[in-house]
Amino acid sequence: QSVLTQPPSVSGAPGQRVTISCTGSSSNIGAFYPVHWYQHLPGAAPKLLIYDDINRSSGVPDRFSGSKSGTSASLAITGLQAEDEADYYCQSYDNRLSGWVFGGGTKLAVL
């Protein structure tokens, strides 16, 4: 059971928009810790997509965007492409656990 809750899967057709939610609590996202997002392609190393809630990492297309409100954060992907098929993880810090925490991951399928 992950401290940060993500939907196990989302899907969309090419060109569509999808969002992936990341729900935490008052000891992590709600405590104003930043949320970071990673893309994990099969057989590759995870890659930083979004840092500090809303900032795109270098080289990440502007089709990817992050937002945060209260105890939740979201990753939005517009103009879906086949190459976006991957697992996506949110990450933050939890002061009750005194450590960094990841969401359970969301598998994105591009139909």
Partner 1 sequence: EVQLMQSGAEVKNPGESLRISCKGSGYSFPSHWIGWVRQMPGKGLEWMGTIYPGDSNVRYSPSFQGQVTISVDKSINTAYLQWGSLKASDSAIYYCARQWGTTTRQDYNLFDPWGQGTQVTVSS
In the complex, the residues that contact partner 1 under the rule CB under 8 A are: 2, 33-34, 36, 38, 40, 44-48, 51-52, 57, 87, 89, 91, 93, 95, 97-105
Q: How far is the CB of 106 from partner 1 (least distance, A)?
A: 9
Nearer to partner 1, 13 or 43 (CB): 43
Nearer to partner 1, 1 or 69 (CB): 1
Rounded to whole angstroms, how far apart are CA atoms 17 and 5? Answer: 21
Q: How far is the CB of 64 from partner 1 (least distance, A)?
A: 15
Nearer to partner 1, 13 or 58 (CB): 58
Residue type (1 letter), 56: R
Q: Which residues pair with 102 in a beta bridge?
A: 91
Sign of CA dihedral 79, 84, 87, 91: negative
Q: How far is the CB of 49 from partner 1 (least distance, A)?
A: 10
